[in-house]
Amino acid sequence: MSSNVPSDPLVCLEGVRFAYGEREILQGIDLTVKRGQVVAIMGGSGCGKTTLLRLIGGQLRAGSGKVEVDGQNLGRLSTRALYAMRRRMGMLFQFGALFTDMNVFDNVAFPLHEHTVLPDELIRDLVLMKLHAVGLRGAQSLMPAELSGGMARRVALARAVALDPMLMLYDEPFAGLDPISLGVTGQLIRRLNDALGAASIMVTHDVQVSLDLVDYVYFVSNGIIVAQGTPEEIRASDDPFVRQFIRAESDGPVPFHYPAPPLESLLSGVAA
């Protein structure tokens, strides 16, 4: 299924700018994702990664520039058309965002109940298949509060792929997971992407896991893309930003200090 999909771009961003009020978050982003690809967007906290993901999901509209998904400009779509588009997208939120008033089964069945008129038995089979794919078929009657963080994220993943999306968006899929859950989640993302023949965009700052499983990486800093390439290119890169990020150095192009006047002037000012 994944072998014969055409490799035309599914997601295409051109010169995208975005600002919250007067605070510019994104200052001209160009980015393409092809079908079948898993792409990581990396960068420090607060650099606009999540904003980028929301633009692709159509939750925010770009100030200028163009966000195209499957050939349609999201900025021009009506709410109805946007919703039609979103039925073909799946999004995994940072902490899963499971509906806390429903059990695991109903959470996964939710998009099926909302968007299809399938008979209950068929929905049941589909849900159990999705849950089986994430290894949690046995947890179907648990409530979200009874799940560990990693399990909750896997359930959310099953829910996100319930309608077999063409595009998967992941917001920090690895945050707060223990190493085992982290490995499991990473493998699941790759496996589901290949099985669905979909494209996946993952916002993360977990370098090592991501580099092992993605096809392409974009580095975002201060609202622009500072580096991009395949994992091999990134590992070999001598770009100072990429090096700082991969080696987790505390100071470098991403400064340790939030912009402030020099400490000396402040101290002498107090002394005076």
Partner 1 sequence: MNALAATLRRLGAMTIDGVWRLGFAARFSLAVLRYSGQSFLRLPLTIREIYFSGVLSLLIIVVSGLFVGLVLGLQGYDILRRFGSSDALGIMVALSLLRELGPVVAALLFASRAGSAVTAEIGLMKTTEQLQAMDMMAVNPLARVVAPRFWGGVISMPLLAAMFSAMGIFGGWLIGVVAIGVDDGAFWSQMRAAVDFRYDVLNGVIKSFVFGVAVSWIAVFEGYDCQPTAEGVSRAITRTVVYSALAILALDFVLTSFMFRGI
Distance CA 178, CA 11 (A): 31
Task: Name beta bridge partners: 89.
Answer: 167
Smallest separation, CB 10 to partner 1 (Å): 17
Binding of partner 1 at residue 150 (CB under 8 A)? Answer: no
Binding of partner 1 at residue 50 (CB under 8 A)? Answer: no
Segment interacting with partner 1, rule: CB under 8 A, options 6-14, 95-103, 172-180, 207-215: 95-103
Which of 49, 86, 130, 153 is close enough to bind partner 1 by CB under 8 A? Answer: 86
Smallest separation, CB 106 to partner 1 (Å): 13
Q: In this complex, which beta carbon is closest to partner 1, that of residue 3 or of residue 100? A: 100
Q: In this complex, which beta carbon is closest to partner 1, that of residue 145 or of residue 270? A: 145
Binding of partner 1 at residue 20 (CB under 8 A)? Answer: no
Contact 29, 225 (CB under 8 A): yes
Distance CA 107, CA 109 (A): 5
Helix/strand/coil (H, E, C) string of 125-158?
A: HHHHHHHHHCCCHHHCCCCHHHCCHHHHHHHHHH
Rounded to the nearest 10°, the torsion over CA 119, 122, 107, 136 is 160
Q: Which residues contact 252 (CB under 8 A, 6 or more apart)?
A: 240, 241, 243, 244
CA separation, residue 80 to residues 66, 84, 96, 142 (Å): 19, 6, 25, 34
Binding of partner 1 at residue 57 (CB under 8 A)? Answer: yes
Segment interacting with partner 1, rule: CB under 8 A, options 67-75, 83-91, 118-126, 234-242: 83-91
Distance CA 237, CA 231 (A): 10
Binding of partner 1 at residue 99 (CB under 8 A)? Answer: yes
Which of 3, 4, 7, 100 is close enough to bind partner 1 by CB under 8 A? Answer: 100
Smallest separation, CB 65 to partner 1 (Å): 21
Residue count, binding to partner 1 (CB under 8 A): 22
Smallest separation, CB 111 to partner 1 (Å): 5
Closest Cα to residue 193, out of 163, 218, 166, 162?
166
Coil/strand/helix, residue 247: helix
Q: Between helices 149-160 and 120-133, what is the axis angle to 10°?
A: 130
Smallest separation, CB 163 to partner 1 (Å): 8
Q: In this complex, which beta carbon is closest to partner 1, that of residue 66 or of residue 87? A: 87
Per-position x/- string for 109-128, each x denoting binding to partner 1 as judged by CB under 8 A, each - no binding: -xx--xx-------------
Q: State the distance between the two ends of the chain, measured CA to CA, in whole angstroms.
A: 73
Binding of partner 1 at residue 84 (CB under 8 A)? Answer: yes
Binding of partner 1 at residue 98 (CB under 8 A)? Answer: yes
Binding of partner 1 at residue 93 (CB under 8 A)? Answer: yes
Distance CA 127, CA 104 (A): 10
Which residues sit at the interface with partner 1, rule CB under 8 A?
A: 57, 59, 83-84, 86-87, 89, 91, 93-95, 97-100, 110-111, 114-115, 156, 159, 169
